[in-house]
Amino acid sequence: MSTAWRIGVDTSRCIGTSICAGTAPEHFRLVGGLSAPLADVVAPADVILDAADSCPVEAITVHDASDDRLIAPQE
Amino acid sequence: MTESAQTTESRSVPPARPYPFSVPDRLVVDPTYGELRENEPMTRVKLPYGEEAWLATRYEDVRTVLGDVRFGRAPAVQRDEPRLTPRQQYSGMLTMDPPDHTRLRRLVAKAFTARRVEALRPRTQEIADGLVDNMVRLGPPADLVEHVATPLPIQVICELLGVPYADRDRFHIWSEAIVSTTSLPMETIQEYLNNLWGYIGALVAERRREPGIDDLLGALVRARDENQDRLSETELVELAGGLLAAGHETTVTQIPNFVYVLLHNPDQLARLRTDPSLVPAAVEELLRYVPLGVGSSFARYAKEDVEVGGVLVRAGEPVLGSLSSANRDGTVFADPDRLDLEREQNPHMGFGHGVHHCVGAQLARMELQVAVATLVTRLPGLRLAVPEAELQWKRGMLVRGLLGMPVAW
Ligand code: HEM
Ligand code: HEM
Ligand code: SF4
């Protein structure tokens, strides 16, 4: 049971659609046209997976902060 | 409360202008947009149907309207939405806000990621080559709309969804009803939509009989049958029908539009021909440059009072964002009315912005890249086979484009 997730945004992939910031505004915003997480390590929440799974270029990754297991994006 | 007093004062609501500002003329962007960006960036407009609305014309403001969570699409279904069509849309992803919207969008988003779409490129190239081969065999003059632009995206979306391409003549007509404004009577539009839903419903039933079918439709049916809360039966049918329809008019119309613009810019076309590595950047620039929509984005409703472009938009008021105008904003794009296939910074809004950013964007990009590269490299002498004045443009549709494009090579 993971208690914390680590959010990463690969800004070399991000194309600035703002889908993530619209889906999970409490976790993502656009800075200079590209996505940036508001906090890197956060409490698990489904809406973060929604954002990661909705990104068209799979720029958002979510890992378990304790064991580094990849949680999203899912295949 | 000086602040609210001030914003109230800055809110002298001007009379509404009829919108669209003019009957579409080929692919010309009405100069009114430029004047408005300069002098009245938030203006009042009245569309053929629905209530009056604000129209945002500056890039930053359009991004706010489409991207800011204080605006939403869902309220539109309770209102007389400003629109070009007699029928109002009451369902589908484009009438929802998160989290409802997210639920549907996430189900299909996976099938349209850049990575998944890249896997479809070789097959798309094969289809494009086959279509060009066939056109060459028929010999000039040939209609580019009929022989390449229409079959290419339709065949790709059919294979992705799992819709028999052999049925294309039927659903092409039905899905045209979705982007028709005045060219079809209301009853016909309703009849076509019912036909489309019935047709998809039959394909869904087939997926239930043969659960192993590995296409997007099969995946959606499994998602629905595994967990009924994720997707209702109506949503399932509308989602698939919507993808089929949206996969049509847009890319089908853009391919000839892109060729038309390139033929008007022969020096840049020549550059592209000698260096096909420019194709991806060229497609982005063409997406910026070509005003595909007759109107603007769908209306967003303010969920609270929001200041946009110096105007206080009151909670409950609808705002439209003009993508064509945002794409010609000189504060973002240097020399915005010039086509520049080698433009370096190109954060265009051709696919919208925010949660409704086109779900088919990566697919459309790939299809357009394949189409442009194939046409310019395989048909180096590509040209119009009729005088420009004889070209027939669409009328009474939501999109701007050619009804036919006779070409020689
Ligand atoms: C890309 C730009 C799009 C434009 C400009 C557009 C425009 C429209 C318009 C104006 C209507 C109303 C038709 C009428 O009243 O005659 C409509 C209906 C509809 N659209 Fe779109 N649409 C677009 C994309 C989509 C997409 C992506 C979907 C898929 C989810 C979709 C699904 C539908 C459906 C299902 C209807 C019929 C709704 C109903 O029967 O109540 N459209 N569209
Ligand atoms: C050149 C081709 C295309 C262009 C220019 C285009 C443009 C757009 C735009 C501007 C929107 C946002 C509308 C708004 O926010 O008011 C949109 C939405 C949408 N498009 Fe496209 N589109 C294209 C191709 C496609 C294709 C091929 C598909 C399907 C496979 C597709 C499916 C959709 C869907 C489902 C939405 C609604 C998304 C949502 O509400 O979350 N589009 N498109
Ligand atoms: S959804 Fe993906 S591409 Fe879009 S802004 Fe977020 S990270 Fe960037």
Looking at ligand 1, which residue's alpha carbon is closest to its atom 12? B89
Q: Low-confidence residues of chain B, pLDDT below 70?
A: 1-11, 178-183
The answer to whether B341 and B282 have CB atoms below 8 angstroms apart is: yes
How distant is the Cα of B357 from the closest Cα of chain A, in angstroms? 6
Q: Which CATH class is domain A5-72?
A: alpha beta
- Scanning every residue of chain B, which has its alpha carbon at the shortest distance from the alpha carbon of A52? B106
Which ipTM was obtained for this model?
A: 0.94
Looking at ligand 2, which residue's alpha carbon is closest to its atom 18? B358
A2 in contact with B at a CB cutoff of 8 Å? Answer: no
Answer CATH for B3-408 from 1.10.150.20, 3.40.50.1820, 3.30.460.20, 1.10.630.10: 1.10.630.10
- Scanning every residue of chain B, which has its alpha carbon at the shortest distance from the alpha carbon of A15? B347
Ligand 1 mutation target, pool B93, B94, B103, most atoms within 8 A of CB: B94
- pLDDT for position B5: 44
pLDDT in tens, A20-73: 999 999 999 999 999 999 999 999 999 999 999 999 999 999 999 999 999 999
User: In 3-state terms, what secondary structure has residue B321?
Assistant: strand
Distance CA B130, CA B119 (A): 19
Residue B181 CB contacts under 8 Å (≥ 6 apart), including other chains:
B48, B84, B85, B294, B396, B397, B398
How distant is the Cα of B165 from the closest Cα of chain A, in angstroms? 26
- Tokens representing B220 are 């959606």
What count of CB pairs under 8 Å joins A to B?
Answer: 58
Distance CA B213, CA B223 (A): 13
How distant is the Cα of A13 from the closest Cα of chain B, in angstroms? 10
- pLDDT for position B264: 97
A22 in contact with B at a CB cutoff of 8 Å? Answer: yes
Strand partners, A64: A5
Looking from the CA of B228 toward its CB, the CA atoms found within 13 Å total: 1
- pLDDT for position B6: 47
pLDDT in tens, B134-156: 999 999 999 999 999 999 999 99
How is chain A split into domains, by residue range?
A: 5-72
Residue B338 CB contacts under 8 Å (≥ 6 apart), including other chains:
none
CA angle B70, B75, B76 (to 5 degrees): 120
DSSP element (H, E) containing A41: strand A41-42
